Amino acid sequence: MYTPPPLSVPIVSILIGYGINILILAMFVRAIASWFQMDERFAVIRFLARMTDPFIVPVRRVVGQIGFLDLSFLIAWFGLFIIRLLLLQSLPPGW
């Protein structure tokens, strides 16, 4: 079985790790902004919403709201964390 040689800098690992961490951070900032009633009229919140909605909206459809709590952020955040962990573990060493 052929195993590709390791790269001098693990570019793929860095891209996956930082990319998903940026999404998790954007979800956290958006959740904090929602506590202060900052809606999408602000450009930053609109950008964060467009960046994180593909991960939050499907979870929100399945889970819905429980009273006044919206657990979709927490579930999507946990899902992204698990996806990042699985992707980084599935890469060959040095990638």
User: Angle of helix 11-35 relative to helix 72-90, nearest 10 degrees?
Assistant: 170
Backbone angles phi, psi at 70, to 5 degrees: -110, 100
pTM: 0.78
The predicted pLDDT at position 81 comes to 92
- Mean pLDDT across 11-29: 90
- The bridge status of strand 69-70 relative to strand 65-66 is antiparallel
Is residue 29 within 8 Å of 42, Cβ to Cβ? Answer: no
In this prediction, residue 78 has a pLDDT band, given cuts at 50, 70 and 90, of: very high
| The pLDDT of residue 23 is above 90 | yes
